Chains A and B, each alone.
Chain A
Amino acid sequence: MSINPNLQGRSYPSGEVYDVGREKIREFARAVKATHAAHFDVEAARTLGYEDLVAPPTFAIIVAQRADAQLIEDPEAGVDFSRVVHAEQRFTHHRPIVAGDRLVAELHVDQVRSMGGGAMLTTRAEISTPEGERVATTTSSILVRGENQ
Chain B
Amino acid sequence: MSMVLSELSVGQQIGSRSIEVTRQDLVRYAGASGDFNPIHWNERFARMVELPGVIAHGMFTMGAAVQLVTDWAGDPGAVVDYQTRFTKPVTVEDVDGAVGAVIEVTGTIGAVNEDDATVRVDLAVTAGGQKVLVKAQALVRVR
A residues with CB within 8 A of B: 24, 27-28, 30-36, 38-39, 48, 50, 54-58, 61-62, 65-66, 81-93, 95-96, 148
Contact = CB atoms under 8 A, between A and B. Distances in A.
A55 B33 CA distance: 13
Contact of A32 (B31, B58, B60): B60
Judged by DSSP, the binding face of A is mixed
B53 to A, nearest CB: 14
Interface string B98-127: 000000000000000000000000000000
A86 B86 contact: yes
A138 to B, nearest CB: 10
Contacts, number: 118
Given A27-B32, A65-B33, A88 B84 contact: yes
21 contacts: A30-B28, A31-B31, A31-B60, A32-B32, A34-B63, A35-B71, A36-B67, A54-B75, A55-B76, A56-B63, A57-B66, A58-B82, A61-B59, A84-B37, A85-B86, A85-B89, A87-B85, A87-B86, A93-B77, A93-B80, A95-B77
A35 B67 contact: yes
B49 A82 contact: yes
A15 to B, nearest CB: 14
A66 B34 contact: yes
Interface string B50-76: 100000011110111011011100011
A91 B29 contact: no
Interface residues of B, number: 40
A93 B81 contact: yes
A128 to B, nearest CB: 17
A1 to B, nearest CB: 13
Contacts of A31: 25, 28-29, 31-33, 60, 63
B140 to A, nearest CB: 10
Given A32-B63, A55-B76, 20 more contacts: A28-B33, A33-B25, A33-B67, A34-B67, A38-B75, A56-B70, A58-B66, A58-B82, A61-B33, A82-B45, A84-B37, A86-B58, A87-B85, A88-B85, A89-B86, A90-B82, A90-B83, A90-B84, A93-B77, A96-B76
Contact of B66 (A28, A30, A56): A56
